[in-house]
Amino acid sequence: MPLLGFQDQFVDKVLRGEKRHTIRAFRKGAEIRRGDWLHLYAKPRQKGMRLIFRAPCTQVEPISIGFGGDVRVGKTQLDVGEIELLAIRDGFSGRTDFYRFWDDRLPFSGQIIHWDYDRRTLEKVAP
């Protein structure tokens, strides 16, 4: 059962359902798949760590973010409007904020992990 940790700036947006996916690097030996129960935590592996909620993974998509604003989801090159929407749905104020976050991590190749906010729970779930 994959654990996803969130920085303080994203926790309230996850709680309110404004952020329903996250962009992460690929995990060697720990692939996340549709149907997996995700454990979303604030301050993972730190004092004050707390469960935000658990939710089932609904979709996993490959993403690449390159220099010069190049963003691809799967084989699709996103246009400026689509990047803006992706950035907002990922918890940023817009694409400028999104690019600033990713600037020193480029080029990036990973995945977008989506969850079902409506099925979130604080209860333990069977593996």
| C-beta of residue 21 within 8 angstroms of C-beta of residue 74 | no
What residue ranges define each of the domains in the chain, with the CATH number in brackets?
3-118 (2.30.130)
**Backbone φ/ψ region at 68: left (φ over 0), alpha (ψ -120 to 50), beta:** left
pLDDT of 102: 94
Q: Among residues of the chain, what percentage have pLDDT more than 70? A: 99
Q: How much is the average pLDDT of 44-51? A: 88
pLDDT per residue over 61-89, tens digit each? 999 999 988 999 999 999 999 999 999 99
- pTM here is 0.93
